[in-house]
Structure formats: structure tokens, C-alpha cells
Structure 1
């Protein structure tokens, strides 16, 4: 695909992993009792919903098992008056995030081109940026 798509999928993966780390071992009541953790998780959920809102339809079509509609609905709720709706936030934490991360990992194996940052480097005339023989490469020369 392209650099933007790879970056968007990376944001979903990174924010989702952060949410799982922040909520590991927490029950719902404990999660909502910890203001700092809850606010950080909502910040990551918001980043994920905003990212999903900007993923092109053609990319979504390549990944039909991801609950794009659920992410869109959660985004609306986080923007609106339901931001503090415990059910919506907890659904995001315990359902949307783990399922999305699972599908992203499976798609990374079956559709690696969606996740490649430099897939189009040769087509753009940039060559292999990791090639030590390329003067524009970041790789060290021996």
C-alpha cells in the first residue's frame, strides 16, 4: 500500500498494545477507580478511533474482519457526551482492542504489503534505502 497506511496500522498496533499493558490484570471496577490509568487509556482509544476514521475504505476492504464499524461508533461516543460511558470504554478495552490486535497480527502475516513502510521505495526511484551501497542509505558502510 503506502507509507500512510503502514503508519496508521502501526498507530493502531502501538496504541492497542499500550492499552493492553495499562489494563493488564485490572477488573472493570478497579480500572474506573484509577483516574490516571483511565485517562491514559481513553487517550489511546481516542487516538485509535481517530486513526480508524482516516484509514481509506480500500484498506478497510482488505481487512474485513476488523470491526471498523465498532471503532467508528466508539469514536462518536468518545467525542460526545458519552465519553464517560463506562460500557463503551470497557467494550473498547476488553473487546475492540484485543480483537483488532489479533487481526492486525494475522494480516501482518497474510498481507505484509499493508504494513511495509518502504514497499514503494523502488517505485518512487529511491532504491533500497537500507542498502549499504546506496549513498542515501542509513546503513553503515563496512
Structure 2
């Protein structure tokens, strides 16, 4: 059974960490920093994987998340080079912040989805 709250927690944690790493970077600094780029790539990959693992009911419930952009991003993360870096920069500056913002909105409306209901 998929624990939705765990997937959402992974997304929020990875997104927050990626934004923290890139906080003071401009695009040129981002492209020069192999270590930060590598870690941001890993974190964005965690977000993409966990979003992909959400059941269809949550995808429909979270309609404002840009599902098509996340789907398009995933294959770009598999390659090295300028296209991957451009996709990561877009994710870091636009896609991740928008996704986290919408998840905050959804949490206000449906806090139970974000709370672990252990047995």
C-alpha cells in the first residue's frame, strides 16, 4: 500500500532542500557548481519519482501541479550536458517552488493527506 503522506513528505523535504541549496545562486554559479548541481539533480529526481508514484486520485485532486512538466523533466534528468542543466535550472527556479506552493495550499484544505496514519 502506498502511504500518500510519506510520498508528500518526501516531495516537500526534497523540494525544500533543493531550494535551500540553490537559494543564493544565479544561473552561471549553478552551472559552475558540479557538487550543487549533482545534489539538486538527485533531489529533483526524488521529487519527480515521488510525484509519479502518487495515485491517480491525488493527481486529480492536485490538479494545479504541472504534471506534464514533471513528466517531461524526468527523461531530461537521465542525461548529462547543457539540456539537463537547463531543465534543472527551470525546475529549481519555477517547477519546484510552484509545486511546493500548491502542496501548501492543498495541505490547508486536506491536512489529513499529509499526516501519517500508522497502524
Aligned length: 117
TM superposition outliers: structure 1 runs of 4+ over 3 Å? none
Aligned residue for 1:89? 88
1:7 aligns with 2:9: no
Aligned residue for 1:48? 47
Q: Deviations 1:107-127 (Å, cap 9, x if unpaired)?
A: 110111211211xx5xxxx5x
Alignment partners' CA distance in 2, 1:5 and 1:66? 16
Structure showing greater radius of gyration is 1
1:115 aligns with 2:114: yes
Q: Deviations 1:64-83 (Å, cap 9, x if unpaired)?
A: 0111111111112112x3x4
Deviation at 1:44, TM superposition (A): 0.3
Alignment partners' CA distance in 1, 2:111 and 2:76? 32
Aligned residue for 2:35? 36
| Contact 1:3–1:117 under 8 Å retained in 2 | no
Deviation at 1:57, TM superposition (A): 0.8
Q: Which one has a larger percent helix, Structure 1 or Structure 2?
A: 2
Look up the SS of the partner of 1:26 in the other structure.
Answer: coil
| Structure 1 gaps, min length 5 | 127-142
Look up the SS of the partner of 1:117 in the other structure.
Answer: coil
Aligned residue for 2:75? 76
| Contact 1:3–1:116 under 8 Å retained in 2 | no
Question: Whose RCO is larger (CA < 8 A, sep 6+)?
Answer: 2
Q: Deviations 1:20-58 (Å, cap 9, x if unpaired)?
A: 100011000101101111100000011111111111111
